Structure 1
Amino acid sequence: MKVNKFGSLSAGILSLALFATGCAGERSGTDGSSEGNADNSTSDNAFGTLASPCGAGDAKGATAQGVTDSEIVIGYGDDRGFTKAPGLNKEMGDAVAAMIAWCNEQGGINGRKIKGNQYDAAYMQSVSVMQKACKQDFMLVGQGFALDDAAEQYRVGCDLPTVAGFTVGANASMGPNKFEAVPYPVDHYNAANLKMSLEKFPEMKDGLDTISSTSAAVEAGTQKIVDVLDGLGVDVKNCGVKLNAAGDASYVPFAEKFKKCGVKALWTSKSPDPASFSMLEALDRVGLDVPLVFESTWYSDYVKQWNTKGLGDNIHLNTVFQPFENADKVPAVKKYQELVAAKDGKPALLGMQATSAFLLWATAAQKCGSDLTRECVTTELSKVHEWDGGGLHAPTDPGANMPAKCSMMLKLTGSEFEQVLPAEAGKFQCADDNVVKIDKKLWGTKLNADRISTTFLKS
């Protein structure tokens, strides 16, 4: 999933975003839809459709840094200590902590218990966190640091592999020995969300504009989407509206500009915040009633609580994750909620993303048995080309660092989200041609023939 500068999901998980052909237990119909997984496992410890990778065993040997006869040390964490946004991405660390406890209750990985070093990068401290992790951890698992690109040279320099919860920077997204359960590479994009939006709102074809911002992260995301939309035959109106990242005195002039420009639909990669809400309130004041096509970062209690007057009832968002409203149909979602709640954590999409990352790592580590080395785990990870976290999200291709080919659309009404496309709850809409290439000038880094960022590679 991708995140903006404050670590929110970008669809594509932030925007996130972030899946390949159907996984085991998932089937694709001739209608181009992919069903959410039913729990067909008989094990009490199964995670949705995924057999638990955890359990007792007789693994032995101090095979790598952080590995002993009885223990595997992994690093994880978030930016929860960021003073300007307390608790930033806290749900990621909470999720991994819950998964470590769940796994250890079953006996660990082949009998080795997992010890987690929890880090708080506090937004500005990713470098010091990475320097610590380099000295003590076997791997990083399920973490999400907003300024991960600042720390990437240290991760690459100490050969520390990672199964990240999310990555933000271009170098971190395409780094060596980096895997994600929900990839969001810089060179490819899952356009299923945009295609679905065009299907739902054909007026987007000649009447769409973007709500952009002076924020570098939002602007970069907007440019990428405009590039993809151009390939889909959409001529974005470009009415000249760009919000100030630091806030604006009034948003009514922006709303009036959109109205005068003849906008028929609006899209943004901006996350929900007071400025975003003020923009929507201004649209209502000037009487501009158009579809709002937003990214999955808007799937949050924050948005639900704000929408008491129904000003956000035009919000439609696309996601590659199963929403919590589908928990009764998707056992993996229910399992995640139960495990996090048992540790007093708060369920969130980023938490599910970190959970899927942990399960991906654990599944690869389990296959290595006693010979638990970084090389073995990364080799096993590179073989995984169909992954859905037991049903938490649409299928992805972690081994090739490629995004999903699916999406679903949710609509906000009052304080509730509801799936509207595909019509059957729990299903995703998928197609092989949904993944499109991104113009090189928008990558933000140089890639080698293996699609690995060359910025910090050792010569």
Structure 2
Amino acid sequence: MKTRKTAKLVAALALSTALVSACATERGGDDGVPAAGSGSAGTSTSSDTAFGTLDSPCGEGDAKGSTDQGVSDTEIKIGYGDDRGYAQSPGLNKEMSDAVAAMIDWCNEQGGINGRTIVGTDYDAAMTNANTVMQEACRSEFMMVGHGFAMDQTAEQTRVACNMAAVPGFTVSPDAANGPMTYQGVPFPVDYANGAAWFQMAEMHPDMLNDFDLVGSTMPTIITSLAKTRSIAEAAGFTLKDCGVTINYQGEPSYVPFAEKYKQCGVKGLWTSRSPVPNEFNFFKAIDQVGIDPIIFGEATWYGASAQSFNAQSGLLDNLNANMIFQMLENADKVPAVAKYKELVEGEGGKTALLGMQSTSSFLLWATAAKECGSDLTRQCMIDELSKIHEWDGGGLHAVTDPGKNMPAQCGLMVDLKGADYSQVFPSEAAEFKCDAKYLIKTDPSTWGTDLGPDRVSTKYLGPNVIKPQV
């Protein structure tokens, strides 16, 4: 790990606009369903320190007091991180740490949060060390912010036990996705899902509703997510094939037998929940070797440099489609928030990518709530403030979500890849989302992978001292 300390304190020109609501603060049932939200990119605010449409939550102030672990008169200690040390995919999700590091510096240059300097500790979970990272964070950090650990299920019990409130960039496991004391800029709960991907694919290829299948995996979190994906696809009108293919997450000696099975099954489209890593590329090489050319359909992780590089050399992903609720990096000239993100991260030599924008949104969400707490910067205050925020788009980085009630967006856009170039293919207007209330799917409890209480919070690790909203 490494610790970043920035002591540049200059006058801030803007006051924050906290996107809060006076309505209910619990993540309760169907009342948690937000409106469909806007599909437009928006315009920047007039402030020099604005982040897209969001006035900066950072700036000078006179906040005082050692109010909680990691908080003093002058500093706020937060942890962040990724899995960049994973040996099988070096640099995995490094863009997340690059984004949070740049945002810390941006915020501190304005005066920090109410005058307190943010001190960040950059953790590397290297896929298998998430619990070790959380144990270390529990000893010193105020909160975890903008992080993303693929094996977060191994750290969740530790996090909850030490009351480590968190605003992660992403969550993977069911217990973390609906975990107590957790709020995300882009929520991914187990009990509701944004089905825009499948509804939009159905609009793009109405003749292929019976021709798709899912790529199975041995990884427990992917098994859970695929069960939910199947239910979402069916809600969108698909009757998925069941070709019986399950691929070892750690890799296979040969992917040809699996590709042959898909060929025999007659698939014309494949959905994958895996990321664009070497093993996955080898699988699609095998798909080509057996002589089939299906539409490749995946999550937003397929919008990234590794897929671009592989396809520029092979052309095997020219049928790739990825659904996103984030704006494309290519839309920076149309979306001020994307331009700002690129300016800040590239200015520090960091990597820009989709997950980096996701971490940026969560950092801004955290900072917005922290500003509202003023001198009373405690985890309890943070939970109270975060639970009030019901309309959030990261200043225009993504479609509107409801972090306070842990509800996803009801919008999406589709991109495709040709050679090394991504372009938006649905809807046709660049930088626009298509939003529809029908995209929000209430999932079957059998797909959740965890038990939820009446407040939609995972009950697995709950204890009497868990911090809950009190407003």
Q: Tell me the secondary structure at the aligned position of residue 183 of structure 2.
A: strand
Query: Match for residue 3 of structure 2?
Result: none
Letter in 2 for 1:53: P
Deviation at 1:130, TM superposition (A): 1.6
Note the residue ranges of structure 1 that are not aligned, 5 or more in a row.
1-18, 29-33
Deviation at 1:418, TM superposition (A): 0.1
Aligned partners of 1:158 and 1:244: how far apart in 2? 34
Q: Tell me the secondary structure at the aligned position of residue 180 of structure 2.
A: coil
Deviation at 1:427, TM superposition (A): 0.6
Matched, 1:42 2:34: no
Query: Match for residue 110 of structure 2?
Result: 106
Query: Match for residue 53 of structure 1?
Result: 57
Deviation at 1:20, TM superposition (A): 4.9
Query: Match for residue 13 of structure 1?
Result: none
Deviations 1:252-296 (A, max 9, x none): 443333333222322221222233223323333343233222221
**Pair 1:406–1:20, CA change in 2 (3 A):** farther
- The answer as to whether partners of 2:36 and 2:410 remain within 8 angstroms in 1 is no
Letter in 1 for 2:367: A
Q: Map 1:286-365 onto structure 2 (within 5 A).
A: 286-307=290-311, 308-365=313-370
Query: Match for residue 12 of structure 2?
Result: none
Q: Tell me the secondary structure at the aligned position of residue 179 of structure 1.
A: coil
Matched, 1:226 2:221: no
RMSD: 1.8
Matched, 1:281 2:280: no
- The answer as to whether partners of 1:20 and 1:395 remain within 8 angstroms in 2 is no
**Aligned equivalent of 2:400, options 395, 398, 416:** 395
Question: In terms of mean alpha carbon deviation, does 113-122 or 325-334 score higher?
Answer: 113-122
Matched, 1:450 2:455: yes
Deviation at 1:22, TM superposition (A): 6.8
Aligned partners of 1:90 and 1:99: how far apart in 2? 14
Aligned partners of 2:279 and 2:149: how far apart in 1? 23
Q: Tell me the secondary structure at the aligned position of residue 371 of structure 1.
A: coil
Aligned partners of 1:245 and 1:146: how far apart in 2? 13
Q: Tell me the secondary structure at the aligned position of residue 361 of structure 1.
A: helix
Matched, 1:437 2:442: yes
Deviation at 1:21, TM superposition (A): 4.1
Question: In terms of mean alpha carbon deviation, does 124-133 or 431-440 score higher?
Answer: 124-133
Query: Match for residue 175 of structure 2?
Result: 171
Deviation at 1:233, TM superposition (A): 3.2
Query: Match for residue 17 of structure 2?
Result: none
Letter in 2 for 1:103: C
Matched, 1:427 2:423: no
Matched, 1:206 2:206: no
Deviations 1:220-257 (A, max 9, x none): 22222112222333221112233333433443443333
Aligned partners of 1:387 and 1:254: how far apart in 2? 42
Aligned partners of 2:248 and 2:126: how far apart in 1? 24
Question: In terms of mean alpha carbon deviation, does 97-106 or 122-131 score higher?
Answer: 122-131
Aligned partners of 1:112 and 1:246: how far apart in 2? 44
Deviations 1:130-169 (A, max 9, x none): 2222222211111112222222122211222111111112
- The answer as to whether partners of 2:320 and 2:416 remain within 8 angstroms in 1 is yes
Q: Tell me the secondary structure at the aligned position of residue 347 of structure 1.
A: coil
Q: How many residues align?
A: 431
Letter in 2 for 1:390: G
Question: In terms of mean alpha carbon deviation, does 236-245 or 139-148 score higher?
Answer: 236-245
Give the structure-2-normalised TM-score: 0.87
